[in-house]
Amino acid sequence: PHMENINTHIVTLTRFLTEEQIKHKEATGDFTLLCHALQFSFKQIAYYIRRATLVNLTGLAGSSNTTGDEQKKLDVISNDLFIEAMRSSGKCALLVSEEEEEVIFFNSSANARYAVACDPIDGSSNLDAGVSVGTIFAIHKLAEGSTGTKEDILKPGTELVASGFTMYGASAQLVITMKGGGVNGFTLDNGLGEFILTHPDMRLPRKRAIYSVNEGNSLYWEDHVKDYFSSLKEAPEGGKPYSARYIGSMVADAYRTLLYGGIFAYPADKKSPKGKLRILYECAPMAMVFENAGGQAVDSHMNRMLEVVPEHIHDKAGIFMGSYDEIEKVKSFHKK
């Protein structure tokens, strides 16, 4: 009888990726191998974050390691790990990282067909406060015949092959979605060193009375943004106002919104006219996850986020993402 309560249907990320590959007859295995390099870097980053608080990796000035050289901050270590994982995979032609001013071209990966954008440690300013941070990733496929140029990554999110994020919280939670597919959540089992499928086919509730925005910027918001958020604080006949939940780490706010529903927003405002969050490795990958989970994501002009094309690799955008009905409500407040 004890066997009855042991979940024997364990799907690891590795098995999941292989099953996905088999669905595509034309698959060469390159995408699968790229994703293995990704998951390896998430395991490494998770390991370093867990050690960070112990060995002072959270970037407190003056800390140095045994050889005495200046202790690298966690965001630098994570960026280095991620770059090396992409390089050694041989499947990544070029990489855009939040930590790198310019595109990194992997000339050693001659036949690589993928371009990756990532934020290795999004929310790192919160690290020493113990707030969950995360790695956000977006995968584009090179245009036919392209040898890998900046144009291969300056594309609308509608062309993304896959995207997702790993949140380093009490445990490492990985969320991944592929073009035309659903959203699946995996939890890192530290003992096995495996990501286990714990949240199959994640679906955003159509509505939920939770809003997530930095109200400290409300002085700078456009009027229709002020009106929208003010409307959430009213109690319609017999109804109740919304709850406010803001962590200030996009991956943590996004993960909660994905699980519970509601809306997360970082509107462009008078202080940040183009918004604060970056299109390639924050807005677009999150938008793909939210749309594939049944939600929506729009920019400050109410354009579908996945149709926004950045001019430069670090371009920003305002963003509203969350439950389908909630975004419809934002649109209704936006003056034409």
Residue ranges binding ligand P6P (CB under 6 A): 122-123, 125, 214, 248-250, 253, 266, 276
- If the CB atoms of residues 106 and 165 are measured against ligand P6P, the closer one turns out to be 165
Residue the block writes with tokens 């249907």: 9
User: For residue 313, what are its two tokens?
Assistant: 């690799």
Look at the alpha carbons of 152, 158, 163, 167 in this order and tell me if their dihedral is positive or negative: positive
Q: Provide CB contacts within 8 A for 82, sequence distance 6+.
A: 41, 45, 95, 97, 118, 120, 135
Minimum CB separation of residue 214 from ligand P6P in Å reads 3
Minimum CB separation of residue 145 from ligand P6P in Å reads 36
Minimum CB separation of residue 25 from ligand P6P in Å reads 39
Minimum CB separation of residue 266 from ligand P6P in Å reads 6
Minimum CB separation of residue 248 from ligand P6P in Å reads 5
- If the CB atoms of residues 63 and 214 are measured against ligand P6P, the closer one turns out to be 214
Element holding 137 (H helix, E strand): strand 133-141
Minimum CB separation of residue 129 from ligand P6P in Å reads 12
Residue the block writes with tokens 């020493």: 128
Cβ–Cβ under 8 Å, residues 254 and 245: no
Minimum CB separation of residue 277 from ligand P6P in Å reads 6
Among residues 262, 305, 326, the alpha carbon closest in space to that of 138 is found at: 305
- If the CB atoms of residues 103 and 283 are measured against ligand P6P, the closer one turns out to be 283
- If the CB atoms of residues 253 and 326 are measured against ligand P6P, the closer one turns out to be 253
- If the CB atoms of residues 106 and 211 are measured against ligand P6P, the closer one turns out to be 211
Cβ–Cβ under 8 Å, residues 160 and 139: yes
- If the CB atoms of residues 77 and 196 are measured against ligand P6P, the closer one turns out to be 77
- If the CB atoms of residues 194 and 253 are measured against ligand P6P, the closer one turns out to be 253
Q: Please tell me the distance from the alpha carbon of residue 64 to that of residue 37, in angstroms, as a whole number.
A: 29
Backbone angles phi, psi at 148, to 5 degrees: 100, 90
Among residues 272, 308, 276, the alpha carbon closest in space to that of 264 is found at: 276
Helix H segments across 177-242? 223-232
36: left (phi over 0), alpha (psi -120 to 50) or beta: alpha
